Structure 1
Amino acid sequence: MATTVVAPPATIIEKIKLELALLDQISAEEKAGFVDLVGRYLSKDGGEIVWDKIKPPTDEVVVPYDKLAPLSGDDADTKSLLDKLAVLKLNGGLGTTMGCTGPKSVIEVRDGLTFLDLIVKQIEHLNSTYGSEVPLVLMNSFNTHEDTLEIVRKYKDSKLEVLIFNQSQYPRIVADDLMPWPAKGKTDKAGWYPPGHGDVFPALYNSGKLDELISKGKEYVFIANSDNLGAVVDLKILKHLVNNGNEYCMEVTPKTLADVKGGTLISYEGRVQLLEIAQVADEHVNEFKSIDKFKIFNTNNMWVNLKAIKRLVEADALKMEIIPNPKEVDGVKVLQLETAAGAAIRFFDKAIGVNVPRSRFLPVKATSDLLLVQSDLYTVEEGSVLRNTARKSPENPSVELGPEFKKVGNFLQRFKSIPSIIDLDSLKVVGDVIFGKGIVLKGTVIVDALKEKLEIPDETVIENKKVTPGPAYSDL
């Protein structure tokens, strides 16, 4: 983003400090973190990547999942592992892109259960089965905090301790002079932003929850997005980390053509490092997107040693690459400086990746994803969303729904029941379409109702057809 700033960085920083001193909505730690982030941005401390130094990671750095040692099968061993663990879900996102208000984690996903309900059921099942006390930790943003406090009340009688903390709240920066927008009078929510999930480490520390977990004997935290239904506790991974003293583990999975922009792990100057597309020079972008050269991508499932987090935060050593995120809000060009938790991997000792099955990456980012997880392609057992073994193809169907289906409310109104898609390869729907009950979709299906409304009758079986308004469907 081009700006008109001409003052030297030190002058800008001093002015920002003066402006922040007048704001009482955020803590001293948040002010210091924000100043540090802006200072690194102005000094171009961006962690430039020299392309020729990139090396593919070996199996020692990115361990194949099938090479992990099996569990003993002894319940006492399992409990011992679980006693070392806390589960942290990144819960700062709103469901606005899917037409919902409030935290995304309270969207109903399956059988009337929300993301949060499923997560709670998973951990409750572990605790009741093994007599463990794995806590659920939620990192909220100022956008989701109040709503989440209300929502978690319903779990007060469950076999589960729920800990809640807020990630940092930083002022949006006005692009033309790099000053905090709230200092110019924009003090409502629009003047602020949560600075990305890389903030999880200092925010966990500043909240006091990190010391609380360590005092309870917890050694590792499993961090994942709340909307990734595949991110369940995997004790084989935890056992490997405990046995080998790995301070950080990133779960990666094989890239498909749908994931070409996803960050990947590389070996760089003797350490494992996350490479994001934003760090790649234009002339190397096509190479970065190659699924032959860069075969894996980051699922954002991470396992991190708690004492290592404490050590690195206290040493102010977590200097993750800065992601500038320009926006226009209320007609004003602003800049958000963010960091990603995956980028912290290079600061931890004995950091590794584990190349996990695709089943551990099941995010719900759009209603097309919701269709998949609500269908007969999946079942739910003890809160875990499991792929139906009757599905012959290892790949999920590709689903493309038109804008009429974008909001969850509209999506639900357009399906009297979710179709059977166990034998579906791809589905494309455009226009004003209503699906009846008990519909079965197989092979390749295109539904085109751009010119007039189309209602597909109950119990219809559609296989390798293009469906348009009218009495007959054409073959594909």
Structure 2
Amino acid sequence: MEKLSQLRSAVAGLDQISENEKSGFINLVSRYLSGEAQHIEWSKIKTPTDEVVVPYDTLAPTPEDSVETKKLLDKLVVLKLNGGLGTTMGCTGPKSVIEVRNGLTFLDLIVIQIENLNNKYGCKVPLLLMNSFNTHDDTLKIVQKYEKSNIEIHTFNQSQYPRVVVDDFSPLPSKGNTGKDGWYPPGHGDVFPALMNSGKLEKLLSQGKEYVFVANSDNLGAVVDLKILNHLIKNKNEYCMEVTPKTLADVKGGTLISYEGKVQLLEIAQVPDEHVNEFKSIEKFKIFNTNNLWVNLNAIKRLVEADALKMEIIPNPKEVDGIKVLQLETAAGAAIRFFDNAIGINVPRSRFLPVKATSDLLLVQSDLYTLSDGFVVRNKARKNPENPVIELGPEFKKVGNFLSRFKSIPSIIELDSLKVAGDVWFGSGVILKGKVTIEAKAGVKLEIPNGAVVANKGKVNIEAKAGVKLEIPNGAVVANKVINGPQDI
């Protein structure tokens, strides 16, 4: 194939990456060019049984004996995917250093959690951070502050691949674009070869480690769970994906299916157009992938050495300086079908608490949660098992702007939904209840004063018309009415 041979010779001349990275990249591209794809026959899809996707509440309790617990934990490694930048939330540097609660960052909380485990049981659970070339330098500086902690921290980089120019399928760096824009990290499916290529896998195996718990660094619910670890070791499961019940907010998330006798991940991109609505249905496909994964280290070694992890390729088109480029990626969840005795575990929703946007940050900084030993714990005073639906306008998108618009985060224990649009500012001690819509028209600054209670059992609209200054008095209770101007208060 001419395209591939030209690409191979161009990649050979790129001295910024290792031989492992070059061969991994060429392997990925050749699979893509060959049109290799796994076509799903819809009629063959089966709903997994409880043996395949195990209900969490059927797991055996963990040993009460702390010596037995220590033995379990001494087989474990925690790996956080730390390759993402906080650019979507207006931050520079790794996303894991965004402050989430009480002045503590994602990384602070992760370190506190593992350190507490190590202190409590006298074990040595290490933390691995898989960085990308985007986050590597910053992370090395940041982890220095944990040097005196009771936790061994390892960092390693995932692969660095060249972006490919769509027009002639040449690597972008060979055209002179040798800066960061010429490269990309190829998705978290790269975690398995990167763990091997970095030498970390052999080191962990030599220390008697058996399982790695892999999770996104921004998922505050992804904490070590002894019941899951105990189950996997007892049942010799090589791979476990945590899934959780799907809500309307998760309809695009990948789900687990039984297919030709194996458990596998079904992503929306694999679904034929005529079945997309069926896929999104929370009646038929009731669970989705949290990307909390538990994987046997010896199995990773076996499959990477055999080059057997051929996960579905995700083509991701981008544009750099007006040039259309392509980056090919893989996802770690898609590896489930290559492991022996792989299962899903249907976990409580509390194990899925990602912070992808400032609307999520509002939830975790509010009184809906408290902090205990590094764990973000849901407030029992909240009767509704689901979280409020939060929709904030573009004025709140960046973390800095978001924080400046709240003197303090409102109380949302009894909130069902919140939609905020326009130039809105919140005072301290504000309480939001029910379904609340707050909208400031263009050119109007709307301030919700200190101590205001915006509440009802139906819907509250606070809307300032253009040219009208709307002031809600301190301590006002706004309930069961639509407010369009001062006369309505």
Provide TM-score, normalisation by structure 2.
0.94
> What residue is the counterpart of 2:131 in the other structure?
140
**Alignment partners' CA distance in 1, 2:8 and 2:102:** 50
Q: Work out whether 1:159 is the aligned partner of 2:159.
A: no
**Alignment partners' CA distance in 1, 2:39 and 2:402:** 43
> What residue is the counterpart of 1:261 in the other structure?
252
1:149-189 deviation per Cα after TM superposition (whole angstroms, max 9, x unaligned): 00000000000000000000000010112111111111110
> What residue is the counterpart of 1:454 in the other structure?
446
Match of 1:36 among 27, 37, 46: 27
1:148-297 aligned at under 5 Å gives the runs: 148-297=139-288
1:201-232 deviation per Cα after TM superposition (whole angstroms, max 9, x unaligned): 00000000011111111000000000000000
> What residue is the counterpart of 1:468 in the other structure?
463
> What residue is the counterpart of 1:4 in the other structure?
none
One-letter amino acid of the counterpart of residue 218, structure 1: K
Consecutive aligned runs of 4 or more in structure 1 exceeding 3 Å deviation = 471-474
Match of 2:348 among 357, 363, 368: 357
**Alignment partners' CA distance in 1, 2:198 and 2:447:** 53
The two structures, once aligned, show a CA RMSD in angstroms of 0.9
> What residue is the counterpart of 1:306 in the other structure?
297
> What residue is the counterpart of 1:381 in the other structure?
372
1:297-355 deviation per Cα after TM superposition (whole angstroms, max 9, x unaligned): 00000000000000000000000000001111211100010000000000000000000
Match of 1:339 among 330, 336, 340: 330
**Alignment partners' CA distance in 1, 2:311 and 2:169:** 21
Q: CA deviation at 1:475?
A: 1.6
1:189-210 deviation per Cα after TM superposition (whole angstroms, max 9, x unaligned): 0000000000000000000001
Unaligned runs of 5+ in 1: 1-9
Match of 2:6 among 15, 18, 27: 15
1:217-266 deviation per Cα after TM superposition (whole angstroms, max 9, x unaligned): 10000000000000000010000000000000000000001000000000
**Alignment partners' CA distance in 2, 1:402 and 1:303:** 37
Q: What is the number of residues matched between the two proteins?
A: 467
Percent of aligned positions that are identical: 74
1:418-473 deviation per Cα after TM superposition (whole angstroms, max 9, x unaligned): 01101111100000011001111111111111231011110111103222343575
**Alignment partners' CA distance in 2, 1:440 and 1:248:** 44
Secondary structure at the aligned position of 2:79 is classed as: strand
**Alignment partners' CA distance in 1, 2:441 and 2:294:** 47
Question: Using CA pairs below 8 Å that are at least 6 residues apart, which structure has the higher relative contact order?
Answer: 1
Q: Work out whether 1:393 is the aligned partner of 2:393.
A: no
Provide TM-score, normalisation by structure 1.
0.97
**Alignment partners' CA distance in 2, 1:460 and 1:332:** 51
**Alignment partners' CA distance in 2, 1:58 and 1:45:** 29
- Counterpart contact for 2:127–2:151, Cα < 8 Å: yes
**Alignment partners' CA distance in 2, 1:328 and 1:190:** 10
